[in-house]
């Protein structure tokens, strides 16, 4: 059994990660750390775990008790954590914050569809952002073929869980319900990792991604749409995408238009392609808490531990 620990256990990503780990056939959870909830049952914070585990949050942790450590604290806290604690040799770390997504300090960017072999040899993984996952998977095949034009237009709408568990004026139900709004247009923090990846595959790409994030009036899921000029006919574009994602366990190319309900509660990304008068529309859907966060973190754990990549992640969407 692989023994795992979780730092920052009270948030949405930690709750989803625990939900997956308690049913993983090869995992035992050694501890879930939370200074604000120490001593409380996990199910008091994550009510969906009622009846699944009798574990309690702890205030102390023991690196020696685990093989893999997940960092689920807020952005910026992971770097602080390693300034306060010495990382022991042999420990595998998967960070769900954005602190090391530039692959600094020996971290590997954990997008399996792009870096599976590199991930398998790594001990420190920086899990991608949710918007970044959906948008990169929409554009990777084009970048690999050097087909990205000078500018790409992207709009993506996300559920309220993407803002985290801590309440804010724009996540309050009475504001979010029956409402849609734009935030951080052109400057969203995930653009850095998106452009870094795309420019790495297509060095001549200018990195101009005009990204408009949108807050949706639903809890979870991301629907991203990218529009760009493309010189290839649609059948060749579809062949390019199918070849790029051939054999991928979680990313699929659909002949039909996609919708969020196909992926919510799964680790899947489903992509659809349409074209009109030289304009290509790429739509990509993911669950922001699973393929966009905790599911992908578990996928990365499976890879670095030499397990079946789909272990603990054989999840079906609920269509109604």
Do 161 and 299 have their domain in common?
no
Do 43 and 74 have their domain in common?
yes
Provide the domain count of the chain. Answer: 2
Report the C-alpha gap between 134 and 155 in whole angstroms.
Answer: 11
User: Tens digit of pLDDT per residue, the chain (320 long)?
Assistant: 999 999 999 999 999 999 999 999 999 999 999 988 999 999 999 999 999 999 999 999 999 999 999 999 988 899 999 999 999 999 999 999 999 999 999 999 999 999 999 999 999 999 999 999 999 999 999 999 999 999 999 999 999 988 777 777 887 788 889 999 999 999 999 999 999 999 999 999 988 999 999 999 999 999 999 999 999 999 999 999 999 999 999 999 999 999 999 999 999 999 999 999 999 999 999 999 999 999 999 999 999 999 999 999 999 998 88
Report the C-alpha gap between 318 and 320 in whole angstroms.
Answer: 6
CA-to-CA separations, 233 to 206, 272, 273, 274, in angstroms, rounded: 23, 15, 11, 10
Nearest CA-CA partner of 68 in 289, 290, 297, 296:
297
Spell out the residues 6+ positions from residue 187 whose beta carbon is closer than 8 angstroms to its own: none
CATH number of residue 174's parent domain: 3.30.360.10
Report the C-alpha gap between 220 and 318 in whole angstroms.
Answer: 13
Do 111 and 176 have their domain in common?
no
Do 202 and 84 have their domain in common?
no
CA-based max dimension of the chain: 61
Do 101 and 199 have their domain in common?
no
Q: SS3 for 227?
A: strand
CATH number of residue 36's parent domain: 3.40.50.720
In a domain, 315, yes or no: no
pLDDT at 320: 81
pLDDT at 3: 98
Do 9 and 41 have their domain in common?
yes
In a domain, 166, yes or no: yes
In a domain, 104, yes or no: yes
Do 119 and 22 have their domain in common?
yes
Q: Is 305 a catalytic residue?
A: no
Do 65 and 36 have their domain in common?
yes
DSSP state letters, 18-43: HHHHTT-TTEEEEEEE-TTTTTSBHH
In a domain, 196, yes or no: yes
CA-to-CA separations, 241 to 94, 144, 238, in angstroms, rounded: 28, 10, 5
The structure tokens listed for 218 are 């639903």
Do 75 and 168 have their domain in common?
no
Do 169 and 261 have their domain in common?
yes
In a domain, 64, yes or no: yes
In a domain, 274, yes or no: yes
Domain limits for position 173 = 130-286
In a domain, 316, yes or no: no
In a domain, 313, yes or no: no
Do 44 and 188 have their domain in common?
no
Do 205 and 65 have their domain in common?
no
Global confidence as pTM: 0.95
Q: Which of 43, 58, 72, 130 is catalytic?
A: 130
């Amino acid at each position: 059994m692989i023994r795992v620990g979780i730092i920052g256990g009270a948030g949405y990503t930690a709750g989803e990660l625990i939900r997956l780990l308690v049913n993983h056939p090869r995992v035992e959870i050694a501890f879930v750390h939370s200074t604000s909830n120490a001593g409380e049952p996990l199910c008091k914070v994550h009510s969906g775990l009622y009846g699944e585990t009798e574990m309690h949050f702890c205030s102390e942790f023991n690196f020696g008790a685990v093989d893999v450590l997940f960092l689920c604290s807020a952005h910026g806290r992971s770097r602080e954590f390693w300034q306060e604690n010495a990382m022991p040799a042999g420990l595998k770390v998967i960070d769900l914050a954005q602190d090391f997504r530039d692959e600094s300090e020996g971290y590997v960017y954990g997008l399996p569809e792009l870096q599976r072999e590199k991930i398998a040899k790594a001990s420190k993984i920086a899990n991608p952002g949710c918007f970044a996952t959906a948008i990169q998977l929409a554009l990777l095949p084009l970048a690999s073929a050097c087909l990205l034009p000078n500018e790409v237009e992207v709009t993506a709408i996300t559920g309220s869980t993407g803002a985290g568990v801590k309440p804010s004026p724009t996540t309050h139900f009475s504001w979010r319900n029956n409402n849609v709004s734009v935030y951080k247009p052109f400057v969203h923090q995930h653009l850095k990792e998106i452009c870094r990846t795309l420019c790495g595959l297509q060095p001549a790409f200018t990195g101009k991604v005009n990204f408009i994030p949108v807050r949706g009036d639903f809890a979870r899921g991301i629907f991203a749409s990218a529009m760009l000029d493309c010189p290839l006919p649609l059948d060749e574009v579809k062949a390019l995408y199918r070849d790029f994602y051939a054999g991928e366990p979680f990313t699929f190319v659909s002949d039909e238009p996609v919708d969020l309900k196909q992926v919510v509660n799964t680790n899947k990304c489903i992509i659809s392609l349409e074209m009109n008068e030289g304009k290509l529309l790429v739509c990509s859907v993911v669950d922001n808490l699973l393929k966009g966060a905790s599911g992908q973190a578990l996928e990365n754990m499976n890879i670095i531990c030499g397990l079946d990549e789909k272990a603990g992640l054989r999840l079906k969407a609920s269509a109604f």
